[in-house]
Structure 1
Amino acid sequence: MQTTATTRRAPTPAAAGPDLEHEVLRRVGCGLRDDEIAAALALPEQAVAGQLARILVKHGLRDRAAAIVHAFDCGLVVPGRGPRTPAVGAAVRGAVARTVTPGVRIGVLGPLQAARDGRPLDLGHLRQQAVLAALALGAGRTLSQQELRDGVWGTEPPVTNVVPVYVYRLRKTLRGEGPDGPGPVIEHDRRGYRLVAGAVDVDVARLQELVARVEAADRAGDPAEAVRLCSRALELYRGEPLAGLPGPLAEWERLRLTERRIALAQRKAQWQQRLGRHSEAIAELFALSAAHPLNEPVAAMLMRALYRTGRRADAVGVFDRARRRLAEDLGVAPGRMLRRTHEVILRGDEVALVPGRTSR
């Protein structure tokens, strides 16, 4: 009986089942940490983390940042408003305000850069910059010192534990001087370090949001809006992502973000052609092919676009250039898709040039 009475007095969560999922997702979308969500819903922090993990799997989301975008897309969160309760206090309401107008901007879609209130910041030497880049790409997730060492130094870790020193310097740089300066930008707890939710605007987060909106426009059958959103997303790139930064994390993210850029440009060109804007599509595909001469899908798309506008000789010329570069740089012949595109152009097979047919 005593056990039963104790069970009855235990706090119960504010929601359960699908309602609990919505409540957790709403609070994640508003930028709350797991401990804040746990306090608001009377749940153990571990339960909140488990619920978030299930949400990511259920909706096919990559990470916490993708969950934030999903919460906005679903209408669970309205910019500037969220599920924070009055009990959270004025300090947390200040964090919500920072979500709307963050004072620090970090750019990783090019050489790493950071600015506070429009003024560029000196981020120190390259390893220190790589630590900041890892935090920025973590999208608010807590990174342990080990994770930072692995991502920045790889198999050659530093002789001394310099991560806390680098983080201290970065916190000082990002926060600013003086008692009336902005609040901290990097938080620390027993698990590691993370950027304060809402205190920093990271260009890759804006990219993810725009990509989600591109997907929505595509599903809605609005190619004009999809082209507009692709243009906005591509404008965020300022060159090679994380150019010059050392470490396996920067190397991996350079590849991933570059592939994202290529995919966006390809999709934009497809929609431009669907809208009859062939000249625009061809011009952008030429630029993309020049920047990535070994990318066979881009070359094949350019060949198809040229052929459809009556430029058969130019289309064949693209194939010849791609074949030479592949032989000279990689010592390989063109792949099946590129060869197939070349063959159907020589035959003048219009049906086979329908998008999706040439890759089979």
Structure 2
Amino acid sequence: MGDIVGDLNINILGSVAIQHGEHAISVSPPKARALLVILAIRSHEVISRDELIDAIWGHRPPSAARSNVHTYVTALRRLLTGDLLVTTPPGYLLRLGREQLDSRRFEATLAQARGRRTAGEHEPALRLYDAALALWRGASILGTPGPFAEAARARLDELRLITLEERVHVMLELGRHTEVLSDVAALARHHPLNERLRGLHMLALYRNGRQADAFHVFEDTRRALAEELGVEPSRELRRWHERILQADAGAIGL
């Protein structure tokens, strides 16, 4: 086997592309993208043809699915160059280094950020959170069909949201509540049922001297939860509301 190509990267944090140095090559048709995504995420694993067919088409594949997989593999080999995509019975294996997939770099950088935050090193943690988020170019695995791609997209997009939330936490821990207010307000607006983000928005408003606005956020959240889910705010969100209501010094904490 040839060596792993050092300047090649697979990007899935946005549209799916193969990057050679500075040049990004889009992958088509969409089901070829779906094939690349599963091979990249599970690189160094032999994935059987049957499993690939399930990942791309689900439980109702076309009669030509096996032939189509072969066609997509041939096309991907031309784009990848080198001896990266290997036929290994009963299927295929993509030889990709851990740093050659942007989602792995994102998760590795996020783990470093969390480690620094746990150690109380908030400034380095913030830089690492920003570096992790900078790898994103839009919604993940854009325009790629199939059950595997859908599940991977949901997991990555949720992890990005959690990363944004943790970044807000770090900004508040650093006392940068004025800087972070517009960011957390936008996040809370786009995710009106996310009680963690709504609570952080309340806290940022409180720290900026906007106690009444923090109460409005709580009431809006209560109404949205009741109308959409038929539930009351969580115990944690109610506790934050009470502490802000009492102007409790503890509300300064997280």
| TM-score strictly above 0.5 | yes
CA deviation profile, 1:294-352 (whole Å, cap 9, x unmatched): 21111111112211231112212322333444455x24344323344334333333436
Return closer, same or farther for 1:327/1:121 CA change in 2, 3 Å cut-off.
same
- The answer as to 2:12 corresponding to 1:108 is yes
The answer as to 2:162 corresponding to 1:263 is yes
What displacement does 1:171 show?
1.0
Q: 1:320 to 1:217 in 2, by over 3 A?
A: same
1:332 to 200, 211, 230: 230
Shift of 1:199: 9.6
Q: Can you give the 5+ residue segments of structure 1 that lack an aligned partner in the other structure?
A: 1-90, 176-182, 356-360
Q: CA deviation at 1:151?
A: 1.7
Q: Which amino acid aligns with 1:186?
A: L
Find 1:252's aligned residue among 110, 126, 151.
151
Q: Which runs of 5+ in 2 are unaligned?
A: none
Matches within 5 A, 1:93-172: 94-95=3-4, 98=5, 102-160=6-64, 161=66, 162-172=68-78
Q: Is 2:191 the counterpart of 1:292?
A: yes
Alignment coverage as a number of residue pairs: 251
Per-residue CA deviation, residues 73-102 of structure 1 (Å, 9 max, x unaligned), is: xxxxxxxxxxxxxxxxxx76x44xx4xxx2
Output the TM-score relative to the length of structure 1.
Answer: 0.63
- Residue 207 of structure 1, CA deviation: 0.8
Q: Secondary structure at the match of 2:206?
A: helix
1:145 corresponds to which letter in structure 2? R
The CA deviation at 1:198 is 3.4
More contact order relative to length (CA 8 Å, sep ≥ 6) = 2
The 2-side partners of 1:317 and 1:112 are apart by 41
Cα 1:252–1:353, aligned 2, differ >3 Å: closer, same or farther? farther
**Which secondary structure does the structure 2 equivalent of 1:345 belong to?**
helix
Q: Name the SS of the counterpart of 1:121 in structure 2.
A: strand
Question: 1:144, 1:298 → 2: CA distance?
Answer: 41
- Indicate conservation of the 8 Å contact 2:203/2:251, yes or no: no
Q: Equivalents in 1 of 2:96, 2:15: separation in Å?
A: 23
Question: For 1:1-360, what aligned pairs fall within 5 Å after superposition?
Answer: 94-95=3-4, 98=5, 102-160=6-64, 161=66, 162-175=68-81, 183-198=82-97, 201-327=100-226, 330-336=228-234, 337-351=236-250, 354-355=253-254
CA contact (8 A) 2:98 2:105 kept: no
Superposition RMSD in Å? 2.4
Counterpart amino acid of residue 185 in structure 2: F
- Which letter does structure 2 place at the counterpart of 1:152? I
Of all paired residues, the percent bearing the same amino acid is: 35
TM-score, normalized by length of structure 2? Answer: 0.87
Q: Structure 1 pair 310/257, CA: closer, same or farther in 2 (3 Å)?
A: same
2:19 match: secondary structure:
strand
- Contact 2:202–2:214 (CA under 8 A) maintained in structure 1: yes
Is the 2:18–2:79 Cα contact (8 Å) retained in structure 1?
no
Q: Against the structure 1 CA distance between its residues 185 and 276, is the aligned structure 2 distance closer, same or farther, given a 3 Å change threshold?
A: same
CA contact (8 A) 1:294 1:325 kept: yes
Q: Distance in 2 between matches of 1:219 and 1:121?
A: 39
**276 and 193 in structure 1: CA distance in 2 versus 1, 3 angstrom threshold:** same
Change (3 A) 1:199 1:234: closer
User: Contact between 1:141 and 1:194, CA under 8 Å: does it hold in 2?
Assistant: yes
Letter in 1 for 2:220: R
Amino acid at match of 2:146: G
Structure 2 counterpart of 1:228, which letter? R
Contact 1:139 1:205 in 2 (8 A): no
